[in-house]
């Protein structure tokens, strides 16, 4: 067991979540650090603490109750929290992140009980540098930041959006092993337009309409400059910004700081990785597909952009590649004659559509016979039986990805999709679903969740010292995920590895990301034989150390 010199003692030591061991402090440590009286007499081990925590969690009635309990554990003893996740990530990932995180964000003001991360509010904008200067933050390597305007499919949650950075960073650690003290969740509190929150006496954020326009842009600029000055080599992960801000922010700062937007790049990469895995079973290439995307927000456009780039990389001319996409938003099929389109939407808007203006999903599917159907609209049940059966009638192995979350917002359920296609569908969802039975066989439902991508991308960036995250690195991450697909070894296998293999997935994605960074010259040089050692430097294991008094 490793040893560590500690300066804190007594109440201050057990109050530090990164150092606290609870009942696992030894007799010698209790003597040395003045812990007698602060702890019950029993001396425990980490394994027994995990057993006790799991038993208690199993007795709670709802996922939300388990979420609250796990957050309490995290705030008091981070080693125990991550040992718990490591013991059964498949069971607890949906508790600390999607789908339970949605309810946690909605009720964040009611369940908040202890500081975690930073709230940078508009009224305190002149103090950002001072707040970031805390010496306790010196070793931060990864920041996840949100302004809470578009949380999952739930809309504006104000500072309740902080649940997302906390949850994302928990997965950076649980999946990729990035040490918790090197992560920092941040919420930019620029107000909220959620009238229910503004009227609530419980809301803990700044009760004001959202700051927008030039003032908002200046606030973001000030924040990025302050972060870059404080941590020149930081990975700045943007999360759950409204579509009108997400892509412009990423494009504005991605060449100035190592910036990453998971809604755009992560969703695109995990979707592309899933389709690449499906191609193993169908024998297709990306450029063979006709792709219909339901949802023209930042996620839908990001998915389309990445798949377009991959088609072009396969040798397809750009005009031909663009012709293989049909993007549908709330007003129907996107067409070039619509002046309200965003820049990203316009790249995929049709100018050759012969059907109804504003054609709905059913008409588009009936007309173009897609081979890939992606849902990123945030509205449940949009992939109806009629639509799916029509698609399956013209495609032997239809790829259907209902990615919206939480679970209630999924465009279709895997059970229905399997039934409507007589088991031929290649399906993966954005939220967890129970296994599906068909022809006497029970199969795990794959989850095209960004946790297959962003922890590994972050680990790869840290390992190689990348200064930028390029489109090529995102494509490499998608390919790295496909390389560990069970479909490579089993024609009847799942598309994605089980959640129990997330550490191996993260390392595979990290290696692919780092190699591409080297190829594009945006990182330090390294030899292939040294890459795993570079990665292992940033992989933290949840285990207790022996403390010596400093």
Give me the residue spans of the domains in the chain: 3-44, 93-241
Q: Is 532 annotated as a binding residue?
A: no
**What is the secondary structure of 149-211 as a DSSP string?**
SS-TTS---GGGGGHHHHHHHHHHHHHH---GGGEEEEEEE-----HHHHH-TT--S--SPPP
The confidence score (pLDDT) of residue 1 equals: 67
235 pairs with which residues across the strands?
Answer: 142, 258
Q: Is 449 annotated as a binding residue?
A: yes
Is 172 a residue of the active site? no
The confidence score (pLDDT) of residue 154 equals: 86
> In the numeric block, which tokens belong to residue 209?
């309409």
Rounded Cα–Cα distance for residues 216 and 207 (Å): 16
The confidence score (pLDDT) of residue 161 equals: 97
Q: Which of 82, 92, 97, 203 is an active site residue?
A: 97
> In the numeric block, which tokens belong to residue 49?
């603490």
Q: Is 405 annotated as a binding residue?
A: yes
Is 285 a residue of the active site? no
Could you identify the residue written with the tokens 């009847």? 492
Q: Which of 82, 168, 172, 452 is an active site residue?
A: 168
3 state SS of 36: strand
Which residues have C-beta within 8 Å of that of residue 119, sequence separation ≥ 6?
Answer: 159, 162, 186, 187, 189, 205
Pick the CATH number of 3-44 from 3.40.50.150, 1.20.1370.30, 3.40.190.10, 1.20.1200.10: 1.20.1370.30
The confidence score (pLDDT) of residue 511 equals: 98
3 state SS of 226: helix
Q: Is 20 annotated as a binding residue?
A: no
Phi, psi dihedrals of residue 166, rounded to the nearest 5°? -60, -45
Q: Is 548 annotated as a binding residue?
A: no
Rounded Cα–Cα distance for residues 300 and 155 (Å): 16
Task: Name the average pLDDT for the chain.
Answer: 95
278 pairs with which residues across the strands?
Answer: none
Low-confidence ranges of the chain (pLDDT < 50): none
Which residues have C-beta within 8 Å of that of residue 173, sequence separation ≥ 6?
Answer: 82, 179, 180, 183, 540
Pick the CATH number of 93-241 from 2.60.40.10, 3.40.250.10, 3.40.309.10, 3.40.50.10380: 3.40.50.10380
Q: Is 194 annotated as a binding residue?
A: no
């Amino acid at each position: 067991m490793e040893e560590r010199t500690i300066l804190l003692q007594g109440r201050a030591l057990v109050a530090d979540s990164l150092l606290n061991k609870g009942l696992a402090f030894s007799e010698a440590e209790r003597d040395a650090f003045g812990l007698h009286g602060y702890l019950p007499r029993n001396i425990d081990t980490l394994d027994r603490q995990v057993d006790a925590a799991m038993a208690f969690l199993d007795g709670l009635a709802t996922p939300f109750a388990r979420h609250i309990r796990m957050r309490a554990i995290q705030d008091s003893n981070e080693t125990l929290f991550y040992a718990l996740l490591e013991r059964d990530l498949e069971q607890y990932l949906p508790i600390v992140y999607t789908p339970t995180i949605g309810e946690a964000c909605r009720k964040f003001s009611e369940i908040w009980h202890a500081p975690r991360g930073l709230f940078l509010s508009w009224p305190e904008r002149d103090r950002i540098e001072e707040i970031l200067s805390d010496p306790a933050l010196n070793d931060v390597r990864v920041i996840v930041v949100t302004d809470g305007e578009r949380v999952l499919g739930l809309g504006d949650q104000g500072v309740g959006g902080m649940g997302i950075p906390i949850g994302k960073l928990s997965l950076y650690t649980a999946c990729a092993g990035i040490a918790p003290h090197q992560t920092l969740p941040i919420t930019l509190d620029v107000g909220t337009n959620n009238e229910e929150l503004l009227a609530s006496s419980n809301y803990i954020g700044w009760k004001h309409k959202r700051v927008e326009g030039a003032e908002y842009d200046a606030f973001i600029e000030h924040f990025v400059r302050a972060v870059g000055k404080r941590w020149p080599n930081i990975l700045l992960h943007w999360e759950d910004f409204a579509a009108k801000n997400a892509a412009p922010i990423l494009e504005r700062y991605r060449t100035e700081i190592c910036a990453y937007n998971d809604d755009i790049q992560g969703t695109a990469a995990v979707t592309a990785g899933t389709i690449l895995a499906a191609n193993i079973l169908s024998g297709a290439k990306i450029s063979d597909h006709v792709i219909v995307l339901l949802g023209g927000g930042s996620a839908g456009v990001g998915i389309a952009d990445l798949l377009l780039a991959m088609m072009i990389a396969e040798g397809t001319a750009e005009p031909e590649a663009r012709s293989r996409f049909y993007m549908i938003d709330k007003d129907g099929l996107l067409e070039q004659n619509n002046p309200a389109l965003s820049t990203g939407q316009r790249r995929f808007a049709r100018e050759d559509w012969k059907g109804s203006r504003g054609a709905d999903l059913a008409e588009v599917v009936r007309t173009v016979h897609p081979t890939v159907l992606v849902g990123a609209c945030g509205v449940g049940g949009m992939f109806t039986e009629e639509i799916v059966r029509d698609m399956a009638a013209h495609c032997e192995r239809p790829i259907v990805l209902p990615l919206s979350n939480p679970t209630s917002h999924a465009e279709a359920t895997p059970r229905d999709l399997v039934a409507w296609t007589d088991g031929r569908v290649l399906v993966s969802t954005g939220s967890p679903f129970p296994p599906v039975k068909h022809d006497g066989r029970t199969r795990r439902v794959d989850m095209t969740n960004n946790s297959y991508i962003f922890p590994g991308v972050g680990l790869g960036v840290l390992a190689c010292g990348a200064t930028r995250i390029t489109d090529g690195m995102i494509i490499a991450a998608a390919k790295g995920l496909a390389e560990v697909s069970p479909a490579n070894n089993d024609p009847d296998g799942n598309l994605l590895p089980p959640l129990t293999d997330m550490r191996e997935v993260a390392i595979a994605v990290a290696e692919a990301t780092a190699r591409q960074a080297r190829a594009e010259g945006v990182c330090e040089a390294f030899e292939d034989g040294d890459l795993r050692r570079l990665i292992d430097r940033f992989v933290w294991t949840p285990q207790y150390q022996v403390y010596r008094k400093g």
